[in-house]
Amino acid sequence: MGSHFTFSNPSGRTLVSKILADCLPEHIIPHDDQLTCVCQLLDGVNIVAILATNAGKTGIFYMFILTVLAIRSNPALCPAAYTRYPDNAAMIIILPTVGLSEEMSENMEALGLSSIVITANSISHARMHNQPSPWSLAVSQAAMIVMSPEQLSSDAFNHLLDMAEFNTRLLALGVDEIHLIDTWGRDFRKAFKNIGAVRARLPKRVVLAAVTGTLLAVGGQTERVCHDLGLRKGHFFMLRRSNLRHDLQLQFVTLTHGLGGSTFPDFDFIVHDTERRKCIFFCPTIKLAFTLFAYFWSIAPTFPPRDKRFLLYTAANWPSHNEAIRKQMREDGDFQVLVATDAASVGLTIPGIADVHLVGIEKQTVNKLLQELGRANRDYSVRDARGRVYLPPRAVEAAKKAVADAASHTSRKNLTRKQEGALMELELAQFILATCKTAEQNRLYDNPPPTSCTCRRCIAKPPPAPRERCNCSGPNCMPLPAPPKRPTVRTTITKKDRLTPIERALADQALIDFRWSLWDCLPETSPYLPDIFISDKEKDNLLDEWVHLRDRESLAARATSPELAPHLASLLAVIISLKDDFAFRRAVWLPVHDTLLGRTKSVPDRLEAISSAARKAVESARKAATSRHEIFVTCDTVSLPCGTIPAAHVYAGVLRRTASFSASDQPSVTAVESSETARPGEETLGKEQLGSLPRGELQALARSHRVKANTRSAAIIEALCEQFPDGVPYSSSPSTPHSNKRTLADPDVASTFSRSRKVAKLA
């Protein structure tokens, strides 16, 4: 071989291919583009490689070092190039995230390359466990030194460069995801801007390998990144390949609900997906990621286990926790949904991901969009992989405004950072408005026509070829059907048939007690939670359609849990019992309640109306067909701070009422007669003579009148509250408490409920 041997010629490529075939496992075969970049680096040329996601960009790093180490260990392989490289050559690799750094270090160790990760976490971990500092190991022991960009400005890094032992063996600097220099480097991680300055301190023999999958050819981004890296035009090698993923269908979906709340009905289909397609949800903030994760957790059944089915990956997690999540995603068959932030947007390689869903992307960049979509189908094992971008209804208007501002040359220089952050990126706006997303991506990145790779792996199993017809969701390709308009809810339930707030609270607590009673009957080793019987969503649905719950069939249509099916008879008994209570309450108390809230100005007129309404309520209760109730009425005169009030306390009460239900679900209601009688002529009343006048309702009336500035009425009610501070429950004698025993859950055993529901609890 000549003294000016170059690896970029055919003979050099053949030699490098042979060396790597001996160094790499059988399943790793260098692609043509990887060989091209490695040969340029071996010749001492800086490179910028723009390849599609999953094209093996980071493989260039370890292939280069493996070739150098092989030549140094066996000079006969290439005597002319032997002296170019130092012994024990080392390479610094700058990676943007901790997860990516740890994953790459593991991959390099598996190839036989010694590596060390230097991040704030690894330094702290070594200090806490009394281990050698990563910086000391980097001096002479590691071939691949993986670090975060923040470490480049540290005193420890400066000290490392000053050490002759390390300086003489440093051969290359690798930078992954260089597009982040122009995005993250401008905002919250300005350390990316230091990479070019660090290059000036390195020995001249150190070559630069800069790679990414998304570097815009329009808008000057490529020029800015190269300038920040200290690269001059004509003095480096650039390889730009198409970053289209032909195996991925790109879809833009318009949301029907906002992302600011705690519920996300647009994504309910994920939980009910019978195929259990593995997917990743990318969110712009940790708050949104956690809220979405909690929503999935709340509506999903407890089996399969939710802690295995749904995972949360953010920078707020401990690094060890995120590492465990990555391992679980690869090994656990129950995994289905990962909710993540930018921490997983670059470099995360998980096999079998069928779908990637992006939310909140309208304030991000098109580079970020494509990077996150690139997490799908990394192993080409899914035939119909999809990348879905969810946009709010006004995103199209914002995109049109961004394009119009650019066309009119509206400057953004005088805008504050907050104002500029609220505007949509021009390239993203153009991407959203494009009639064909594929054609627009080719324009933005100046994608060349696809090339065929001649490596053995691609010949045996070619990568997905371009489609004859684009399948993106653009109007000119395969647009998605318009989302159905949200139907106008025309409920058939009239206002009088709906539950009042107090009734709804009582019924809600009764249903919660019921499902807890069923859960108490399960074995202690059961993995289920109480909502396996009645979920919160089903419970709310039952309360909304309370009037329609008449029989077992109507109940079964709304409470569909298989675990609840054997207990529908018991649940129906509870509902019928509550309905009977509510009917009596409305027949007796509500007329008096409405009168108290009337607009009668004169106090005597009001009190007369109260007395009249009470008498009518008593007659209605006596004529009630559902059951018999013992009624008593007091019509005495009471002295209160606002004056003498006749019949202010008139109320119909039930002293004791017990309902028992047999297995046939037929209610049998009995009433116990009362010996309590009113004593006319008394100026004050005892608690036993008031009947059941709940304190909570009195306080509610008082608050209502205060709002209306009706101080006289408020004083009347407040005086009653003071006279009867505890209220009177529905039962004035001991009754059977709510039972949580097994007999309640057994449909073959009669269920007995004693309703001591106290509105006073709500006060």
Model pLDDT for residues 707-750, shown as the tens digit of each residue:
333 333 444 444 444 444 444 322 223 333 333 333 323 333 22
Q: Are residues 218 and 258 in the same domain?
A: no
pLDDT in tens, 267-311: 999 998 888 999 999 999 999 999 999 899 888 887 788 889 999
Q: Can you tell me which residue has the tokens 């340029």?
A: 40
Q: Are residues 564 and 704 in the same domain?
A: no
- Rounded to the nearest 10 degrees, the angle between the axes of helix 695-707 and helix 501-520 is 140
pLDDT in tens, 472-509: 998 888 887 765 555 444 556 788 888 988 889 999 99
Q: Return all residues near 246 (Cβ < 8 A) that are at least 6 apart.
A: 450, 463, 464, 465, 466, 467
pLDDT in tens, 48-88: 999 988 888 999 999 999 999 999 999 999 988 888 999 99
Q: Are residues 563 and 600 in the same domain?
A: no
Establish how many alpha carbons lie within 13 A of residue 149's alpha carbon, considering only the half-sphere containing its beta carbon.
Answer: 24
Q: Kindly report the number of other CB atoms within 10 A of residue 136's CB atom.
A: 13
pLDDT of residue 185: 84
Q: What is the average pLDDT across 466-472?
A: 88
Q: Are residues 230 and 254 in the same domain?
A: no
Residue 143: inside a domain: yes
Residue 474: inside a domain: no
Higher-pLDDT residue of 657 and 68 is 68
Q: Are residues 171 and 83 in the same domain?
A: yes
Q: Can you tell me which residue has the tokens 């269908």?
A: 249
Q: Are residues 235 and 252 in the same domain?
A: no
Lowest mean pLDDT among 108-122, 230-244, 443-457, 647-661: 647-661
Q: Return all residues near 500 (Cβ < 8 A) that are at least 6 apart.
A: none
Query: Last residue of a domain, which of 410, 425, 447?
Result: 447
pLDDT of residue 151: 93
How many angstroms separate the CA atoms of 385 and 377, rounded? 6
pLDDT of residue 288: 94
Least Cα distance to 479 among 256, 266, 251 occurs for 251
Q: Are residues 706 and 625 in the same domain?
A: yes
Q: Are residues 278 and 217 in the same domain?
A: no
Least Cα distance to 301 among 564, 571, 566 occurs for 564
How many angstroms separate the CA atoms of 399 and 362, rounded? 9
Least Cα distance to 621 among 612, 610, 630 occurs for 630
| Residue 303 structural domain | 248-447
Find the helix or strand (DSSP H, E) in which 280 lies: strand 279-282
pLDDT in tens, 697-708: 444 444 443 333
Query: Last residue of a domain, which of 215, 240, 265?
Result: 240
Residue 5: inside a domain: no
pLDDT of residue 302: 78
H-type helices in 282-356, by residue range? 286-299, 306-309, 319-331
Amino acid at 298: S
Beta strand pairing call for 237-240 and 355-359: unpaired
Query: Last residue of a domain, which of 553, 575, 597?
Result: 575
How many angstroms separate the CA atoms of 10 and 7, rounded? 8
Q: Are residues 116 and 156 in the same domain?
A: yes
> What's the number of domains the chain is made of?
4
Least Cα distance to 722 among 701, 699, 740, 742 occurs for 699
Least Cα distance to 117 among 312, 346, 319 occurs for 319
pLDDT of residue 72: 93
Q: What is the overall mean pLDDT for the chain?
A: 77
Q: Are residues 252 and 234 in the same domain?
A: no
Q: Are residues 236 and 356 in the same domain?
A: no
pLDDT of residue 337: 95
Max avg pLDDT among 68-72, 96-100, 564-568, 705-709:
68-72
Q: Are residues 558 and 629 in the same domain?
A: no
